[in-house]
């Protein structure tokens, strides 16, 4: 279901979707009010919901849509402004599954291959996820957290899939972690805020570096949310600044972030090079950079997200004597990135999101089991 007050954008997005063999547009609507009134009749798996619309805007329509159709996957669409980024984060807290930044004009949108690619990938992966959930989740299950999207809430309530239970894990290495590096994508903002809230003592002891696939402006606001969730300083990494314990460093949108040695110090290094794994920032550069700085003292965590970013870097972390933890399929909004790491056999633990924080705390306290 495409909901946007621009007939040009509705038409363009609808043509893109209908051209794909595995998806179809079941409704093209002008306002949030139209969407609320028709969602039960149309019965979509996924809704693309514009933020700024007449009669009823996207953020006001969102909770009404989710009340009428609990497992609806809602992807918020907005132009890349700070106000709209803040609204998108609010939408995530209200139950939206994801967001996508729109180019500023219809002319830019029609020429935006990256926007088209990202939009179709989000629809495909999130739509497939909700269809699987329909077969295992009882409609009577109540939401468990206002900061986790419907797909993640439903996933966390289901049992671990058999495919996850059959995956092989490796023993944790004897090396004491000296840095925590985290990578995430789709579903990542909610997962990150839940995780950092449990890591207070770890953040105080070692640098924490995070790469979340996210555009500029959005990363600025995510850092502010992480600071509130963790009750610790958190900001976008600045090229050349010291990477110290007690602070969370987030890769800024549009730049790769690495750790680097500068004499006896560890500093943040930003890189404006080409995308890696179609992403910028990407997780692999962060993970591999940690090896040069902390050798086997890297603990890498791969959270929910599309694609396989983090898997190759995770392989190098393990080869250097470090450890990798992946989020399990049941609690992931999309089990692409963590699934790639898990299936590569590089993980020492594959855990639900609500168990990862406790495991990290134990590892930094010397427990290697």
In the DSSP assignment, the letter for residue 103 is P
Q: Which is nearest to 281 in space by CA: 254, 310, 304?
A: 254
What is the predicted pLDDT for the residue at 79?
A: 84
What is the predicted pLDDT for the residue at 154?
A: 40
Give the integer Cα–Cα distance in Å for 28 and 48.
10
Give the integer Cα–Cα distance in Å for 340 and 104.
34
Percentage of residues of the chain with pLDDT beyond 70: 88
Q: Residues 343, 206: one domain?
A: yes
Q: Residues 260, 351: one domain?
A: yes
Structure tokens at 317: 């972390």
Known active-site residue 309: yes
* Residue 13 belongs to domain spanning: 2-146
- Three-state SS for 265? strand
Q: Are 222 and 193 in contact (CB under 8 A)?
A: no
Q: Residues 179, 68: one domain?
A: no
Q: Which is nearest to 267 in space by CA: 287, 293, 247?
A: 293
Q: Residues 213, 264: one domain?
A: yes
Q: Residues 34, 108: one domain?
A: yes
Residue 152 lies in a domain: no
Domain boundary among 146, 171, 195: 146
pLDDT, mean over the chain: 89
CATH code of the domain containing 223? 3.40.50.180
Give the integer Cα–Cα distance in Å for 147 and 124.
23
CA-based R_g, the chain, Å:
20
Domain boundary among 146, 173, 205: 146
Is residue 75 over pLDDT 80?
yes
Residue 155 lies in a domain: no
pLDDT in tens, 92-104: 999 999 999 887 7
pLDDT in tens, 36-49: 999 999 999 999 99
Beta strands 73-79 and 98-102 are: parallel
Total count of residues recorded for the chain: 369
Strands (E), 175-230: 179-184, 208-212
CATH code of the domain containing 121? 3.40.50.2300
Q: Residues 255, 314: one domain?
A: yes
Q: Are 61 and 96 in contact (CB under 8 A)?
A: no
Least confident window among 14-28, 131-145, 265-279, 294-308: 131-145
Catalytic residue among 185, 230, 289, 308: 185
pLDDT in tens, 16-63: 999 999 999 999 999 999 999 999 999 999 999 999 999 999 999 999
Q: Residues 173, 294: one domain?
A: yes
What is the predicted pLDDT for the residue at 111?
A: 57
- Three-state SS for 116? helix
pLDDT in tens, 324-348: 999 999 999 999 999 999 999 999 9
Residue 300 lies in a domain: yes
Residue 103 lies in a domain: yes
Residue 141 lies in a domain: yes
Catalytic residue among 28, 78, 98, 213: 213
The predicted model gives 8-14 an average pLDDT of 92
What is the predicted pLDDT for the residue at 189?
A: 95
What is this structure's pTM?
0.87
Q: Are 300 and 315 in contact (CB under 8 A)?
A: no
Q: Are 229 and 196 in contact (CB under 8 A)?
A: yes
Query: Burial of 7 by CB count in 10 Å (0-12 exposed, 13-18 middle, 19+ buried)?
Result: exposed
Query: Burial of 130 by CB count in 10 Å (0-12 exposed, 13-18 middle, 19+ buried)?
Result: buried
Q: Are 215 and 185 in contact (CB under 8 A)?
A: no
Catalytic residue among 309, 328, 332, 348: 309
Residue 104 lies in a domain: yes
Q: Residues 224, 290: one domain?
A: yes
Domain boundary among 122, 146, 170: 146
Q: Residues 222, 288: one domain?
A: yes
* Max CA separation in the chain (angstroms): 64
Q: Residues 141, 172: one domain?
A: no
Residue 302 lies in a domain: yes
Total structural domains in the chain? Answer: 2
Give the integer Cα–Cα distance in Å for 194 and 98.
16
Dihedral pair phi/psi, residue 349, rounded to 5°:
-155, 140
Structure tokens at 179: 């840095």
Q: Residues 254, 356: one domain?
A: yes
Q: Residues 110, 199: one domain?
A: no
Is residue 138 over pLDDT 70?
no
Known active-site residue 213: yes
Residue 227 lies in a domain: yes
Give the integer Cα–Cα distance in Å for 346 and 301.
11
């Amino acid at each position: 279901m495409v909901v946007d007050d621009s007939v040009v954008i509705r038409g363009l997005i609808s043509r893109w979707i209908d051209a794909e063999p595995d998806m179809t547009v079941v409704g093209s609507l002008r306002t949030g009010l139209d969407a609320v009134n028709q969602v039960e009749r149309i019965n979509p798996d996924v809704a693309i919901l514009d933020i700024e619309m007449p009669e009823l805007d996207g953020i006001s329509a969102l909770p009404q849509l989710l009340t009428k159709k609990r497992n609806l996957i809602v992807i918020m669409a907005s132009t890349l402004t700070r106000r709209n980024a803040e609204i998108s984060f609010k939408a995530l807290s209200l139950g939206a599954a994801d967001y996508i930044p729109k180019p500023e004009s219809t002319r830019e949108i029609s020429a935006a291959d990256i926007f088209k690619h990202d939009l179709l990938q989000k629809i495909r992966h999130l739509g497939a996820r909700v269809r699987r959930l329909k077969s295992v989740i009882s409609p009577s299950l109540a939401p468990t957290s206002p900061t986790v999207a419907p797909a993640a809430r439903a996933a966390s309530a289901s049992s671990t899939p058999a495919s996850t239970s059959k995956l092989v894990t490796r023993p944790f290495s004897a090396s004491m972690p000296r840095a925590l590096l985290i990578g995430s994508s789709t579903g990542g903002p909610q997962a990150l805020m839940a995780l950092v809230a449990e890591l207070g003592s770890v953040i105080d002891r070692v640098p924490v570096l995070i790469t979340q696939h996210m555009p500029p402006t959005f990363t600025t606001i995510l850092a502010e949310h992480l600071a509130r969730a963790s009750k610790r300083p958190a900001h976008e990494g600045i090229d050349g600044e010291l990477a110290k314990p007690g602070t969370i460093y987030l890769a800024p949108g549009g730049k790769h972030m690495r750790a680097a040695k500068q004499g006896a110090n560890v500093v943040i290094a930003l890189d404006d090079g080409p995308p890696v794994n179609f992403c910028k920032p990407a997780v692999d550069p962060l993970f591999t950079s940690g090896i040069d700085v902390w050798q086997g003292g890297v603990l890498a965590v791969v959270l929910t997200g599309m694609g396989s970013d983090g898997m190759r870097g995770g392989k190098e972390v393990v080869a250097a004597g470090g450890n990798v933890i992946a989020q399990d399929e049941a609690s992931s909004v999309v089990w692409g990135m963590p699934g790639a790491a898990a299936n590569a056999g590089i993980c020492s633990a594959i855990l639900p999101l609500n168990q990862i924080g406790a495991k990290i705390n134990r590892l930094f306290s010397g427990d290697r089991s």
